[in-house]
Amino acid sequence: MLNRILSKQNRALLSELVRTDFKLRYQGSVLGYAWSLLRPLFIFIILYVVFVKVLKSGGAIPHFPIYLLLGIVIWNFFTEMTQQSLTSIVGRGDLIRKIRIPRWIIVFSSSISAVINVGLNLIIVGIFMLINHVDLYKTVILLPLIFIEVYMFALGVSLFLAAAFVKFRDVSYIWEVFLQAGFYLTPILYSLSIVPKLLYQKIILMNPMAQAIQDARWATVTHDTVTGWKLLDGGWYAYIPLVVVVLVLLGGLAYFRSQASSFAENI
């Protein structure tokens, strides 16, 4: 099975699609690839100025700028990947109608582009960490695991959205609203401790994105971060976010597979 998925042809196709995507991204710009680092850099500087210098939010949280950036990077990764994947199948309709390629590769290649981007963003975060003199915890080695979790979650959602978008074009608008709501329901710009009731904090942490962002902050920036593991204190429901991730991934895969054979007709 895995052999077939990662066959020579599929690997070649995947690398070619990702390569093309990257080549075209900064097409026609003078600075070219430099933008993939400059863009997050400038955006982070703006956020830094607004939230740390002007609004002075963050209060007692140590290394708040990094705390904030890490949350934003993870959230943006999720947003970018799902939004790009959503239109990926329809956007590549010309290929799907004229050539035989595994459909999942299209979604997969747009997810890889998002992964590369988040990697570049993390480099910038690393630079900010150096400037901020953040002492690295040993727990930072957990960070890749957290990213794998977010990736799996985003992939499940992406597969579902990409397949649904072929049939229902309003999925893109619905998803935009969802993402906006999700952004404020996830403790990205605010710290979880400002949420009044403990119950609400617990409910918020059932969302895999909130759990992942808080865990990443705990592992990298400060152990003071409120995480589900602390709050729920070993209760079984601390695992709910992980179960959600697995279910979303399997559900997304199943839906995508059931629809994939009729993409060519429905686009």
Partner 1 sequence: MDDIAIKVDQVAKEFKLPHEKHTSVKSAFINTVRGSKRSIERQSVLKDISFEVKKGEFFGIVGRNGSGKSTLLKMLAGIYEPTAGSIQVNGRLTPFIELGVGFNPELTGRENVFLNGALLGFNRKEMSAMYDAIVQFAELEKFMDQKLKNYSSGMQVRLAFAIAIQANTDILLLDEVLAVGDAAFQQKCTEYFEKIKSEGKTVILVTHDMGAVERFCTRALLIKTGNIEVLGDPKDVAKKYTIENYKVFSKEKSLTETVKSLKVNVNKATLTNKEKLVVDIEYELAKDKPVYMGISLIISGISVIEHNSKSIKIGHEKNKKYRVRYEVPLERLNKSEVRLDVAMFDEKSQQLVGYQTNAANFIISGKDDAHKGGVILSDGMWSKK
DSSP letters along 189-228, please?
Answer: SS-GGGSS-HHHHHHHTTSHHHHHHHHHHHHHT-TTS--H
Would you say 90 or 120 has its CB closer to partner 1?
90
Residue type, 97: R
**In this chain, which stretch among 15-23, 70-78, 81-89, 123-131 interacts with partner 1, using CB under 8 A?**
15-23
* Distance, CA of 110 to CA of 185 (rounded, Å): 26
Cβ 187 to partner 1, closest distance in Å? 30
**In this chain, which stretch among 13-21, 59-67, 68-76, 223-231 interacts with partner 1, using CB under 8 A?**
13-21
The 3-state DSSP class for residue 132 equals coil
Would you say 159 or 171 has its CB closer to partner 1?
171
20 binding partner 1? (CB under 8 A): yes
203 binding partner 1? (CB under 8 A): no
Cβ 223 to partner 1, closest distance in Å? 44
Residues 126-155 that bind partner 1 (CB under 8 A): none
Q: Which one among 170, 177, 198, 236 touches partner 1, defined by CB under 8 A?
A: 170
Going by C-beta distance under 8 Å and a sequence separation of 6 or more, which residues neighbour residue 123?
Answer: 37
Sign of CA dihedral 108, 111, 115, 117: positive
Cβ 172 to partner 1, closest distance in Å? 11
Q: What is the 3-state secondary structure (H, E, C) of 133-174?
A: CCCCCHHHHHHHHHHHHHHHHHHHHHHHHHHHHHHCCCHHHH
Cβ 159 to partner 1, closest distance in Å? 18
DSSP secondary structure code for residue 52 in this structure: I
Binding site for partner 1 (CB under 8 A): 8-9, 11-13, 15-17, 20, 23-24, 27-28, 94-101, 167-171, 174, 261-262, 264-265
